[in-house]
A and B are shown apart, each in its own frame.
Chain A
């Protein structure tokens, strides 16, 4: 993965010094609250319901063992001994003290980590597929491009005060989209053109929140060397013409809709024509150089399905289930991609203790070349595990709570911190996840139900991505009471779609039963090969409505 050179180290050290100075001035009363606000946000610091919250960036999800250990130490020294993996490949501390934040940032900088632009109206962390570089259907590894975008967007002088936040995601897999690029402000899909040259299909104006939208394509192909100039053109058009009069209408999706995707694309093309040959145009050398940071680890020549794996699967049904569910195919023979699930019933989805962070570091070193990845589904991936070590790994992680074999099932819930932690939330989200997980605790039944994305957000800011859950749950406030609105049929992958609202919302205690009724409609109607989403798309929302509101 990317390793800082002296330039990166210097820039980050200067950023930490700058924020220390800003914090001192804020504490001394020289900066008004509204003046300090965007400065602290762009350094990851929110002030939340119970305490400040620090959102630390994990660029495109990659973490080294030493970084995991440092995070663990920071949660112990400055917080309450746990952290929360978010849906955008970031990690959050829930209880840091404002005056400690410069020290925390300095400690992070020592291990090449930061909280730059994880919040605020600027270009946020660029995210990608957690299986980047190890899956077989990839055009090319997207991570070098993510790092190129990270550097270009970091402290960009023109785009630090955009109308609203701005999120970019990159996907390079041909058949799946684990990065959910079509619900980002810019979604970049790696493709080859007819001449076989690498580049990107560009989606602009997707997003969740109050006005969920699937991002339309504004350019079918932009060559890789033109990536940054094209992004700069999009951002400049947005910075100049995006609405600033109403924060709920300020995202780029509103501008794209107002101008129409064609009209927006014309503006971008006109802008790009001026800057496409500027020094910001990437060079072959810059891309090749970046790729040298993302080379293969030292894989051994191995075969698929070694005897150790085959016999262990035959002997242990729980192990076999786990391999089926939580282990994915690797492009190298004899290796596997393992997802450690952070969704054990009874613990908030995405929450990890300091000890668990250290355990993940140990596991990464022992089994996966010292690296781990966090996913937008709030799990952790060990991307390079030898198949003949899977059984040993599984035995190691069972007592740690990482082996719940529920990946992509109904109980692998995506969930924001909700009203337990977040000042913006209308309702709690974690207890809803837990009651549903408890209702569906039979693994055989879960496997029979197949892939179901259940996404829960505590408010319409949609941090839990409820719009794109097959089953989406949104916390709403009804005269001071917490209620939950359900939507069905959302999807975040290649077939991205925004879910449809089922009808009036429900009280929290009714939620497990309502979800069960929805599941039963699927079970009653499905054909042999259908997943939940297929059945929903075939029969529509009415049968679900009729059952739930009967």
Chain B
């Protein structure tokens, strides 16, 4: 069974399957077990899928979170695809799902998910990461926590550093 990294650094087996978009003349075939269907197909079959705790969705990088904003409480898991790790749209998608639309379920990064982007993902509200299989998953916990602090507010921390510093600069005693 594939392994997933969770935001606390734990590595767990996980059987959520990601279903590709069906070709034009094909219909969606649901496998046994939990699966993530393309957002457009989920919306199309909303009556059938809504509330099924074994069916989540995935959004591609160009798909807007607004698409599914009205259905978030019916979704046990939302995955956001990074077709290429350098495509940064998924970070905004994640923050919007969490901070604007209040999604509380599991939010997973899928696709070209590498080690050095994990902490950014965590800060933007992702809480599980399907690391690309050729990457060394044992290094994920360290990469999730390179930084012990952050300047900005993000999903993981709503107090930017400027709200946490003392009132006046601390005199440097060094």
**Which residue of A39, A159, A162, A280 has the most chain B CB atoms within 10 A of its CB atom?**
A280
A residues in contact with B124, CB < 8 Å:
157-158
Q: Which residues of chain A (235-288) have a CB below 8 Å from chain B?
A: 236, 239-240, 244, 274, 278-280, 282-283, 285-286
Tally of A interface residues using CB under 8 Å: 48
A residues in contact with B161, CB < 8 Å:
7, 151
**In whole angstroms, what is the CA distance A286 to B87 when docked?**
33
**In whole angstroms, what is the CA distance A7 to B99 when docked?**
26
A residues in contact with B114, CB < 8 Å:
35
Nearest CB of B to A86, in Å: 24
Query: Is A22 located at the chain interface by the 8 A CB criterion?
Result: yes
B 138-159 binary contact with A (CB < 8 Å = 1; else 0): 0000100011111111100011
Query: Is A547 located at the chain interface by the 8 A CB criterion?
Result: no
A residues in contact with B120, CB < 8 Å:
157-158, 160
**Do A158 and B136 touch across chains, with their CB atoms under 8 A apart?**
no
- Asked, given contacts A11-B149, A286-B162, whether A239 binds B92 with beta carbons under 8 Å apart, the answer is yes
Nearest CB of B to A162, in Å: 6
Q: Which residues of chain A (220-241) have a CB below 8 Å from chain B?
A: 228, 236, 239-240
**Do B85 and A161 touch across chains, with their CB atoms under 8 A apart?**
yes
**In whole angstroms, what is the CA distance A236 to B64 when docked?**
13
Interface of B is mostly: loop
Query: Is B172 located at the chain interface by the 8 A CB criterion?
Result: yes
B residues in contact with A121, CB < 8 Å:
86, 88
**In whole angstroms, what is the CA distance A516 to B132 when docked?**
60
Q: Which residues of chain A (278-306) have a CB below 8 Å from chain B?
A: 278-280, 282-283, 285-286, 289-290, 292-293
Query: Is A495 located at the chain interface by the 8 A CB criterion?
Result: no
**Do A282 and B162 touch across chains, with their CB atoms under 8 A apart?**
yes
A residues in contact with B123, CB < 8 Å:
157
Query: Is A398 located at the chain interface by the 8 A CB criterion?
Result: no
**Do B136 and A30 touch across chains, with their CB atoms under 8 A apart?**
yes
Nearest CB of B to A259, in Å: 16
A 1-30 binary contact with B (CB < 8 Å = 1; else 0): 001011100110011011001100000001
- Asked, given contacts A14-B147, A30-B136, A244-B87, whether A289 binds B160 with beta carbons under 8 Å apart, the answer is no
**Do A286 and B163 touch across chains, with their CB atoms under 8 A apart?**
yes
Query: Is A81 located at the chain interface by the 8 A CB criterion?
Result: no
- Among B91, B142, B148, B167, which residue has its beta carbon within 8 angstroms of that of A239? B91
Residues on B facing A (Cβ under 8 Å): 64, 85-89, 91-92, 95, 99-100, 114, 116-117, 119-121, 123-124, 136, 142, 146-154, 158-163, 165, 167-170, 172
